[in-house]
Structure 1
Amino acid sequence: MSELLNIDGSLFEGGGQILRIALPLSCLKRIPIRIFNIRAGRSKPGLMEQHLKGAELIRDMSNGKLAGAHIGSTEITFHPSEIKGGSFRAFVKTAGSISLLLQAALPCAIFAKETVTLTLHGGTNTEMAPQIDYMTEVFRPILEKFAVTFHFELNRRGYFPKGGGEVVVTVDPINKLNGIYLNKFGTVTSICGWSFVAGTLPEHLSHKMALSAKKHLVSVCKNINIVSYKENRHVAPENALGIILVAHTDSGCIIGADAIGKKSENVEKTGERAAEALKISLEQRACVDEHSQDQIIIFMALASGPSSVQVGEITLHTKTAIYVVEIIVKDVKFRIEPLEGGGNIIHCTGQAQHF
């Protein structure tokens, strides 16, 4: 336990994802780690608040020791202990993504000794991260294929730049994860979605956004149902708008895409952006979209048996996740199989033993 495993935080994607993969694996494998060159290539290197709060959350969940962790820090060391379960809180004062906090905490919560309750504060619907609705409507059903899930309660939405969102996530631990096989795309049977506005923005903008998305998706599916609405002011008092889209296939694939509105673009363009992102995944016949592609890597590694998942292009985030997993979990190996018609299959051996 005294010897530290060194991980270069500047390699591959070189951002916060290395922390979100390395810290929970450190806990689960009981391997102390040193992460250096954290976000070295970013315009503001080192830990931002959401990275710091995520690291502190993992520390608390594992009763570990975290050194060097402060805003702007480019190097931390972490010595984990046992993940016992209980109630934990992470409070990001900015609009730092709650979804990214949840990504880091879920692997630890799944293998805790008792039920884990996470109260997470920050941004629920922000750019550069999956919206929280994506996590519940796309990622959670995919996670359930590994035989685990989480319970979710939304108390308040938080948007850029103020944040202020709050969600409560409850996880009942399990003894093992199952490996998954998602190698058949099938046929798209339906597309559903949610188009929202919040704060003082008029509801008709959500209708325009939904109509624009539907217009760009009818070529791939005729069965489209996008609900457009205005958020309750008590739950979402600040101004924001966005859209979440989910496609289902007859083979059980769940593919998602989303977009947050920008001041510089009209709402029709926001709807189009989300639709085009979804179409790319569907045209690649990917069984998971690019956002879930990298998120499932750690669960494939922790499963008690092998997994294989058909995807589109291998993203830099996925390459990063595989790199970190194989450094820490020595008995797990990944293999990328290119497909003749485009796309790839990610194969993983899974874990040789349970936690």
Structure 2
Amino acid sequence: MIEIDGSAGEGGGQILRTSLALSMCTGQAFALTKIRAGRAKPGLMRQHLTCVNAAAEVSGAELRGAELNSQLLEFRPGAVRAGDYVFNVGTAGSCTLVLQTVWPALLMADAPSRLKLGGGTHNPMAPPFHFLERSYAPLMRRLGARAELKLRRLGFYPAGGGEIEATIWPAAKELKPFDLLERGEKLEAFAECFAPALPRSVARRELEQLGLAMGWSDEQLREGPSRQNEGPGNALVATLAYEQLSEVFTSFGEKGVSAEQVAKDVVQQLRAYQLSEAALGPHLADQWALPLALAVWQRGGEARYSCSELTPHARTNFEVIEKFLPVRFESSAAGSGWRVSVRA
């Protein structure tokens, strides 16, 4: 059984989710202690527990410590099973993190799987749906892992109530690692504001401020559609599409934060990325590590990518991946960013 210190490195929920995903992929059991020990509310919160229970359902795992606020979890996976699954966080906790937990394992199944996930679709500290749809899923498809994502309903804190549908096709024998060192030619740049149940002036002010700062035209500034039963909530989403990848940057509105401040936050993210010539932004550099390592593990050899920033979150993720897979991550400064390699 692999033993993991949940307080090591960045010390957050990513340690749990990566451990669950790779335990299912490799069949190796693990014991995770000191779960989120340094957080204001340590242990398993509801969204983390949903990830654990989803992983157990997909793999028929045996569990110990799977309860709210637990700082100890033992997870013994069985065989991954394709199927139709419904996972609901039950709060505004991120359902995209639940999806990312079971996604790699379902690639190992023998048939397609269909998932319906409920909870928050656009949360701070979690990949928003549009990041998964535009940044993560296209790279997964290039890796050989076909998936389709649909946003049925937006979900924001504190109400939640969002809904995502996903179809994941098996790809265990088809994963092909590749290098991602350059963005390629810029194809498109645009921003959308999702602000259901809020005055339309909020979206207009955020988009106007972003457009002025970035020099974007009215055609690049869009108000996202919403339904009457969504929200209240506010997410300003900017997308930069290149030949080799797309990057998505998001800022969230909340009480006491002006529309201008929301726009300023997205502009800062965009400019930081544009100052570098590296391919991946800081969040994608973290999220991409696990599926790329799986492909390298299966195929052998080495794959590389460049990124504008290498966060403590990413470095911790590398360390957890190395506990489950016979691969090695190496990173070095390169120009205005970083270069990461993963080698079998």
Measured against the shorter chain, the TM-score band is over 0.9
Residue 353 of structure 1 aligns with which residue?
none
Q: SS in structure 1 opposite 2:208?
A: helix
How many angstroms apart in 2 are the aligned matches of 1:287 and 1:319?
A: 18
Deviation at 1:224, TM superposition (A): 7.0
The counterpart of 2:31, out of the listed 28, 31, 34, is 34
How many angstroms apart in 2 are the aligned matches of 1:121 and 1:276?
A: 31
Match status 1:226 vs 2:221: yes
Residue 321 of structure 1 aligns with which residue?
317
Deviation at 1:152, TM superposition (A): 1.8
Choose 69-78 or 113-122, whichever is displaced more.
113-122
How many angstroms apart in 1 are the aligned matches of 2:174 and 2:3?
A: 28
The counterpart of 1:266, out of the listed 245, 248, 258, is 258
Deviations 1:91-142 (A, max 9, x none): 2121101111111111011121211112111111121212112211222222
Q: AA paired with 1:290?
A: P
Q: SS in structure 1 opposite 2:214?
A: coil
Q: SS in structure 2 opposite 1:345?
A: strand
Deviation at 1:147, TM superposition (A): 2.1
Choose 341-350 or 29-38, whichever is displaced more.
341-350
Q: AA paired with 2:159?
A: K
Match status 1:21 vs 2:18: yes
Residue 348 of structure 1 aligns with which residue?
342
Match status 1:195 vs 2:193: yes
Unpaired runs of 5+ in structure 1? 351-355
Residue 241 of structure 2 aligns with which residue?
248
How many angstroms apart in 1 are the aligned matches of 2:338 and 2:183?
A: 12
Deviations 1:248-275 (A, max 9, x none): 23x4232221111121122122122112
Residue 335 of structure 1 aligns with which residue?
330
Residue 110 of structure 2 aligns with which residue?
113
Matches within 5 A, 1:170-209: 170-174=167-171, 175-199=173-197, 201-209=198-206
Residue 282 of structure 1 aligns with which residue?
274
Q: SS in structure 1 opposite 2:144?
A: coil
Contact 1:125 1:132 in 2 (8 A): yes
Choose 271-280 or 224-233, whichever is displaced more.
224-233
Contact 2:88 2:95 in 1 (8 A): no
Unpaired runs of 5+ in structure 2? none
How many angstroms apart in 1 are the aligned matches of 2:42 and 2:132?
A: 27
Contact 1:210 1:226 in 2 (8 A): yes
For normalisation by structure 1, the TM-score amounts to: 0.91
Choose 64-73 or 138-147, whichever is displaced more.
138-147
How many angstroms apart in 1 are the aligned matches of 2:232 and 2:332?
A: 45
**What is the RMSD of the two structures over their aligned residues, measured on CA atoms?**
1.7
Match status 1:293 vs 2:285: yes
The counterpart of 2:127, out of the listed 106, 124, 130, is 130
Deviation at 1:247, TM superposition (A): 0.8
Are residues 223 and 293 of structure 1, via their aligned partners in 2, closer, same or farther at CA, if it must alter by over 3 Å?
Answer: farther
Deviation at 1:226, TM superposition (A): 2.5
Contact 1:335 1:348 in 2 (8 A): yes
Q: SS in structure 2 opposite 1:181?
A: coil
Percent of pairs with identical residues: 27
How many angstroms apart in 1 are the aligned matches of 2:218 and 2:227?
A: 28
Deviation at 1:164, TM superposition (A): 1.4
Match status 1:47 vs 2:50: no
Q: AA paired with 2:80?
A: I
How many angstroms apart in 2 are the aligned matches of 1:230 and 1:25?
A: 37
Q: AA paired with 2:328?
A: K
Matches within 5 A, 1:136-147: 136-147=133-144
How many angstroms apart in 2 are the aligned matches of 1:327 and 1:229?
A: 42
How many angstroms apart in 2 are the aligned matches of 1:103 and 1:278?
A: 24
Contact 1:207 1:229 in 2 (8 A): no
Deviation at 1:186, TM superposition (A): 4.2
Structure (1 or 2) with the greater helix fraction: 2
Contact 1:156 1:164 in 2 (8 A): yes
Residue 213 of structure 1 aligns with which residue?
210
Q: SS in structure 2 opposite 1:198?
A: coil
Contact 1:53 1:92 in 2 (8 A): yes
Match status 1:68 vs 2:65: yes
- Matched positions, count: 339
How many angstroms apart in 1 are the aligned matches of 2:2 and 2:162?
A: 35
